[in-house]
Amino acid sequence: MTDPSPRPSLPDAPTRRTTLRAAGGGAALLGLGLAGCRSAVSDSKSAGAGGTSDAPRRGGTLDIAINADFTPALLFTQTGQSLQNRLVFNTLTRYDDSLRPQPELATSWTYAKDGRSITLRLRDDVTYHDGRKFTADDVVFAVKNLQNPLRAAQLRATALAVSGFEKRGDHELVLKLKHPVANLFDLFEFMIITDPDSVEQAVAGKKLNGTGPFKLAKWSPGTGLSLTRNADYWQPGRPYLDRVELRVVAQAEALLSSLRTGQSQLSYDVPGKTLASLASDGTLRTKEYAVGGGAAYLGVNTTVKPLDDPTVRHALAWAVDRERLVKQTLGGYGFASAAPWPKSSPAYTEANRTHYTYDPGKARELLKSAGHSRLDLPLLHVNTPGETANAESVQYDLKQIGVHTTLEPTDPAVSQKKLISQGMPALWVQGHGFAQVQPSTLAVSAYPFNEAKNTSKYRSEEYTAIVRKAWTGTGLSGSASRALYQEISDVLLDAAFVIDLAVRGRVETASTKLHGVTINKFAYLNLDNAYLASGS
């Protein structure tokens, strides 16, 4: 039996055992800790995140302000509306801050020597909200469910690498793999374990039957979700909270007012440019997670002329003032970057981050060399305050080089469906994730970057070959892995079908009376240990 929590490393000459762990889990290839959190309030106030002497208190209702409603049809797709997933459902494993997988519904795991299978041992004390026992059959279904193209799951390619199942009783399961997979534990943290019998009701928003700490009491479309405590949760004494209300507060000012007046105690949707206004509020704390927020980017449809010309796309990449965008629209949270990688990623380099900087003169010269002095193009963006501000910042910069854009504000769910179906117009500004985990996951899973079918409709045999090697490669040293990641970055920067602007963290704004809140690497909220302190 393996120890699920040894510290991985990046040796130049790995043993056979460490190589297989790297091939199967991805965490061993990463081997790097995540950057710490920063707070806009004093350390004493930020102790509300968990560093407190207050004893946990049972009871109470946590009100969470969200800027867009739950979208049942996208339940198995990681979006900005995935916050509630871990409240209702569990996952097999979860990463710690150093990207080492930790047990959740899977208690331990063992790889075969050839990296072509993994044996999972599962908890035997877990029940669904309707009282049915959790078994290995539920894991088999969860994998097959993500293999279904109708689910539009970003990690479908990884799920499809599972070619067979061997049950060894109700709580031990062997997953057989078509080939070694470098990001298997990304799949295990992404894949929520749902009830096979009610999955169609789940994607219709009628029933959410999970094993998580809270049960669905009601979904009011356009208003939000009401959740109640699962008294039979497998973690003894958890959760502490009696209820959780996720309430849609679409307008930025109303959302801020909700937090300041105590109507809400938690939100991840405060626009970056308004976060500074909370620094003097002694009842609130602001905390930035190094992962979970992903990156802001400018997407380019490479089938729309003249955007099929890489020179034009390079011009756009030089045109955006990333530093101003971070300072003004993100409130200083995050950092300007031409590449998608956070600093915690082994794919990160300073040279990639600064590959494109703000140079409007160079951008104009490139446009002129491609035969253009003025372009008129649509620019789609998600119609939320933060994303609108990002789009307006990009629109201003592009105008300075002769690229005039018309903003197309779009509902978050509609935007996500366009992203999945390759239905985007010439340009769009949005956020992406998946750079915060195993590096190959970005290029085999994220819709903007997918080597086989991305939103920009960009295809390259070179890109596919590099990505596939990084995703399935075994026997690679740390330096060889990093060399492959650099090759991926080189293609992304040169092809410029995705123009990254800024890497940003997930920013949490919460009442100082709220303790024990965490989010996972896919921005699923974890409230197992959350509680409201006395007097709240």
Q: Where are the domains of the chain?
A: 1-32+90-194, 34-72+212-289+510-536, 295-503
The arithmetic mean of pLDDT across residues 93-111, rounded, is: 94
The arithmetic mean of pLDDT across residues 280-299, rounded, is: 85
The predicted pLDDT at position 480 comes to 86
The arithmetic mean of pLDDT across residues 213-240, rounded, is: 97
Q: Which residue has the higher pLDDT, 28 or 197?
A: 197
The predicted pLDDT at position 386 comes to 87
- Check residue 224 and give left, alpha or beta (phi > 0: left; psi -120 to 50: alpha): left
Output the CA torsion sign for 228, 96, 151, 378. Answer: positive
Q: Please state which CATH number belongs to domain 1-32+90-194.
A: 3.90.76.10
Q: Which residue has the higher pLDDT, 374 or 1?
A: 374
Is the pLDDT reported for residue 281 higher than 60? yes
CATH number of this structure's domain 34-72+212-289+510-536, picked from the four choices 1.10.3210.10, 2.40.110.10, 3.40.50.2300, 3.40.190.10 = 3.40.190.10
The predicted pLDDT at position 291 comes to 61
Per residue in 166-194, pLDDT (tens digit) is 999 999 999 999 999 989 999 999 999 99
Do the first three CATH levels of 34-72+212-289+510-536 and 295-503 match, i.e. the same topology?
no
Q: Could you tell me the pLDDT band of residue 325, with boundaries at 50, 70 and 90?
A: very high
User: Is the pTM value of this prediction over 0.75?
Assistant: yes
- What is the architecture of the domain spanning 295-503? Roll (3.10)
Query: Where are any strands of DSSP class E within 272-369?
Result: 284-289, 295-300, 335-336
- What token pair was written down for 16? 């056979």
The predicted pLDDT at position 5 comes to 33
Q: Could you tell me the pLDDT band of residue 463, with boundaries at 50, 70 and 90?
A: very high
Is the pLDDT reported for residue 494 higher than 60? yes
Mean pLDDT, the chain, as a whole number?
88
Question: DSSP for 129-177?
Answer: TTSPBP-HHHHHHHHHHHHSGGG--TTHHHHHTEEEEEE-STTEEEEEE
